[in-house]
Chain A
Amino acid sequence: MAKRVVVDPVTRIEGHLRLEITVDEKQNKVVDALSSATMWRGIEVILQGRDPRDAWAFAQRICGVCTTIHALASVRAVEDALEIKIPKNANYIRNIMLATLYIHDHLVHFYHLHALDWVSPLEALQADPVKTAELQKAVFQKYGKLVELAHDYTGLKAYPRKFPKATPAYFKTVQDKIKQIVESGQLGIFAPADWWNHPDYKKLPPEVHLMAIAHYLEMLDTQRELVIPHVVFGGKNPHPHYLVGGMNCSISMNDGNAPVNAARLGLVQTAVEIGLDAINYFYLLDLIAIADIYLNKHKWFYGGGLAKERVLDFGDFPDEPYSDASKTGDFWKKILYHSNGAVYNFKEGWEKAKYEEFNKDSIKDVAEYVQHSFYHYTVGDNKPLHPWEGQTIPAPEDVPPTPWKFLDPSKKYSYSKTPVYKGKTHEVGPLARYIITYVAVKQGHVKPSFVDEMVVKQIDMVSEILGLPPEKWMLSTVGRTVARGLEAQMAANLNSYFLKKLYDNIKAGDTQVANNEKFDPATWGPGIKKGVGFAAAPRGGLSHWIVIDGRTIKNYQAIVPTTWNVAPRIKNEYGEQRAAYEASMLDTEVKAPTQPLEILRTIHSFDPCLACATHIYNTEGEEIYQFNVNSACAV
């Protein structure tokens, strides 16, 4: 018999997400799955008519978890439209802020949003603290060679300041604390107690639970130290300040009042070092230990879904400033992380997979559907629209009256649109980026940067440790989670790399952080200018699209990673297609339908961000900007 279950609210995510599954109870099989974004704010409607120099502040509020990334994509879009090239220091600083975001966001995701799908504080109570200390040592011995890939480019880091404690006394103290909380009956964030009855919490030995819960607490305190570069360069976090043309944080070695001088860079240096430690000695090792047990002991290979078929990303980390993205495509000539592309059929292995580069000529191939979204198109809801001619006309009459029991998947059922590339849904995220970069390098499509080489080394090393080919372990919930951890390790190196570049450039006498030639809107001239800002956001490929008319924003759109993944299904000339969440749920076993922990584990492996997914768009009656698909890049 099939059981229908709703998960709403999905917690340990950003925003409001509803999942509905139908489970065949005999076979523990998910026979249907639906994901619905249940919020809409209309930020892009609000952006219309405003000063493009302010767009980053509005766009940044799309999300306070992946804070910074929408500001970055926004200033990139405005600079692309206004043809502004930022100074070197601004490029390095923005890259440090991006790498810092990866480190922080990925680590917080693993420990505070995802870990409790694998480990339980109640199981930790069963652990032997002596054995847990031994486990910690064993983990280091077994997986420690991964840490050798960490690199401190600045050469200033003396020794690891954050390092896992492998003593029984430490684990005993943590265990006692958890015991107190459990016995008090006030479980707080771990409530309710029966949540932990799920049989999967027995998959790991109690000592793994205790080790991971101890690190959950330690990293809860450490995470705030990781984002200090945002506070130095952008004044605060969440929501550091950005600037069209560069950054606000002027550099001077002559003045103690300067936003950036040697003392301030010292704060950044320390944070970068802590990032290297936290990622390499805690995150990476805990992650691989859990992955190894789930894959090799329990053969838990569920959740691959759409990643087996189609993945997409746009690449990032320009080594040096670039002139534009949409006009000459210079962005893609400067990037270090060559995840810009699409890969098909990775399930057959890298040799048989199909790779396609994403560059300025691909811009025309991005579009969005609203077939099952709470919006209408004036051209009819079955046609896709390119983001530059995109429209969103909310369809309030199509939002079912409350209270909702179950949503009807044959109708409109989500505030998310359905983005497509070349007419098809794609999975985005760190896993997508790792698949694309790996295939691009292995098949010889790109001249690999040191970042690309590291990605390949990491994947090969993990494959060796796990004794599994990449396509076997990567194309799963576990693989999605591991790819994110590997990317955090890469970002920790990049943080140090760009900090060294910043030091060297300042030493060479260049202290400029902003190109302010076009700060005054009077310099922009009249007429329409359009631009696009691509970014490899922590949750996947992100693009912001802007049309400026004179001095104000005529149209602003964002196609956000979670939109790609959470999207409702569509049907077009390529058949019926699901987006990544629904596809991955259908690829996951569920033991107890009313306790769908496996579903949460799989969905959390995407790191959902719902405020990101639903924001957007044009209002009815707006003059729709006509975009000529064939000349997208020739403006």
Chain B
Amino acid sequence: MGKTYWEAFKEAGISRREFLKFATYITGIMGLAPSMVPKVVHALETKERIPVLWLHGLECTGCTESFIRSNAPYASDILLNVISLEYDDTLAAASGILYEENGQMKRAGLNSHAHKIAEEYKGKYILLVEGGVPLGNDGRYCIVAGNPYVEELHHYAENAAAIVTTGTCSSWGGIQAAKPNPTKSVSAVEVIGGKPIIRVPGCPPIPEVLTGVILHVALFGIPPVDEMGRPKQFFGNRIHDTCYRRPFFNAGQFVEKPDDDAAKKGWCLYKIGCRGPTTYASCGNLRWYGGISYPIQSGAPCIGCAEKNFWDNGPFFERQKGIVLPNVEVNADKVGVVAAGVTAAALAAHAVAAGIRHMNKKDDEH
């Protein structure tokens, strides 16, 4: 039953040439060097297509929506050729059916299918997990097919090859875990133990980040991750480091109020609350929708939605206080004062910017 990607592509009438193009593309989105293309091709030819089960806890389905927005490959390619999505609340044709027979509750439809797949592909399927896990009232703040979601999570996690937590809710607990956390919700990571777990935070994550992680797991196993389990290729940079508005920060040119003259010029949003300096995500380099925009480009200060407990780090429109900006010895106020106070402001800003660039470089080296 298990087929390699190349076998599946052949069956679908996709040419070798198209297949190689696909391999080259996914090499790129997985953040691998072009020299890795042959290895990816080899992996696509030899590895089995792995089924994916996608669970939903306390969530808004924004992560699934983001997933189907994938720019390239398209959602149709992902769903029909890349993964075999066997269980998902949002897209599955079949619903779960339960009925009583001889005093026993029988499963039918999606409920029996999901159990069958989990058994058949024991230890081989990937579990995608969306949403927080409520532990309050014995887990009864989220009930799926008559059982607490936390039980469903344990059931399917047990025999998964790997678990990907999609989004901030399953990665960190998310909005329901914000103070006062009425449902006593936690991340899926805190519930599942002894399994390879890849954290893909973001509210929601960027579509191609999700796709890239899934492919990496399917082809090579667990991607290189940081100490918090986040794939380095997508969470290795602060948005601040890759932001196209960074030169304005360096130059001390800041928006002071929404839609002021500086906002029209696209200056730095740090002073109206931007969390770019403390948020690790790919918004600055990948951007959204194949590079069209990201919140900062649309004039909105980043709210840091990929970071742990970001919901309790508000008010969002107030500048982050007490944040140590690595490598920047002058704070934004001082930079601003210097820039505004010197007649040759441009020169001063340039000097500061150059200094910061120099320090960044040093940081990269260690």
Chain A interface (Cβ < 8 Å from any Cβ of B): 3-16, 18, 38-43, 45-46, 50-51, 53-54, 57-58, 61-65, 67, 112-113, 116, 173, 176-177, 180-181, 184-186, 188-192, 195, 217, 220-221, 223-224, 227-228, 231-241, 243, 245-252, 254-259, 267, 394, 396, 399, 401-405, 415, 511-514, 516, 519, 593-596, 600, 611, 619
A54 to B283, CA, bound (A): 21
Known: A11-B90, A67-B62. A231 touches B293 (CB 8 A): yes
Give chain B interface residues in 96-121, CB to chain A under 8 Å: 96-100, 105, 108-110, 112-113, 116-117
Q: Tell whether, in the assembled complex, residue A512 and residue B176 are in contact, meaning their CB atoms are under 8 Å apart.
A: no
CB neighbours of B328 from chain A (8 A): none
Q: Give the CA-CA distance A594 to B75 in the complex, in Å.
A: 32
Binds A, one of B20-28, B228-236, B261-269, B353-361: B261-269
Q: Flag whether B19 is at the interface (Cβ < 8 A).
A: no
Chain A nearest CB from B76 CB (Å) reads 5
Whether A188 lies near B298 (C-beta < 8 A) is no
Q: A252 and B137: CB pair below 8 A?
A: no
A241 touches B80 (CB 8 A): no
| Nearest CB in chain B: distance from A190 CB, A | 5
Interface of A is mostly: loop
**Which residues does chain A contribute within 8 Å of B59, judged by CB atoms?**
15, 64, 611
Instruction: Flag if B148 contacts A405 (CB, 8 Å).
Output: no
- Rounded to whole angstroms, the CA-CA distance of A237 and B303 in the bound complex is 15
Residue of B nearest to A406 (CB): B100
Which residue from A54, A403, A611 sits with its C-beta under 8 Å from B60?
A611
**Given A41-B175, A41-B183, A237-B65, 11 further pairs, Cβ under 8 A:** A6-B98, A7-B95, A14-B60, A54-B317, A184-B1, A188-B85, A195-B93, A231-B289, A239-B305, A512-B259, A619-B182
What are 22 residue pairs bridging A and B, where the CB atoms are less than 8 Å apart in the complex?
A7-B97, A11-B90, A15-B59, A38-B142, A42-B182, A57-B303, A65-B61, A65-B65, A176-B13, A181-B80, A195-B94, A221-B74, A224-B71, A236-B293, A241-B300, A246-B258, A248-B298, A258-B265, A402-B140, A516-B259, A519-B257, A594-B97
Residue pairs across A and B with CB atoms within 8 Å: the count is 353
Give chain A residues whose Cβ lies under 8 Å from the Cβ of B298.
Answer: 231-236, 240-241, 248-249, 259
Q: Chain B residues near A231 (CB, 8 Å)?
A: 288-289, 292-293, 298
CB atoms of A189 and B79 under 8 A apart? yes
| A188 vs B3: C-alpha distance when bound (angstroms) | 13
Q: Does B51 lie at the interface of the complex (its beta carbon under 8 Å from any beta carbon of A)? A: yes
**Contacting residues, chain B, for A595 (C-beta < 8 A):** 97, 108-109
Bound CA–CA A220/B99 (angstroms): 33
Which of A3, A12, A38 sits near B99, CB closer than 8 Å?
Answer: A3
Distance in angstroms from B2 CB to nearest chain A CB is 9
**Which residues of chain A are near B75, meaning CB under 8 Å?**
220-221, 224
**How distant is the Cα of A491 from the Cα of B147 in the complex, in angstroms?**
40
| Chain B residues with a Cβ under 8 A of chain A | 1, 3, 8, 11-13, 49, 51, 56, 58-66, 68-71, 74-76, 79-80, 83-86, 88-100, 105, 108-110, 112-113, 116-117, 132, 134, 136-149, 151, 175-176, 178-183, 185, 203-204, 244-245, 257-260, 263-267, 283, 288-289, 292-301, 303, 305, 311, 314-318
Chain B residue with Cβ nearest A196: B93
- Known contacts A220-B74, A236-B295; is A46 also within 8 Å of B182 by CB? yes
Among B145, B180, B259, B264, the one with the most A-chain Cβ atoms within 10 Å of its Cβ is B259
Q: Closest residue of chain B to A614, judged by CB?
A: B141
Contact between B258 and A191 (Cβ–Cβ < 8 Å)?
Answer: no
* A513 shortest CB reach to chain B, Å: 5
Residues of A within 8 A of B91 (CB): 11-12, 112, 189
Q: With A40-B183, A41-B175, A402-B147 in contact, do A14 and B288 touch (Cβ < 8 Å)?
A: no
Tell whether, in the assembled complex, residue B203 and residue A61 are in contact, meaning their CB atoms are under 8 Å apart. yes
Q: Do residues A51 and B317 form an inter-chain contact, with CB atoms below 8 A?
A: yes
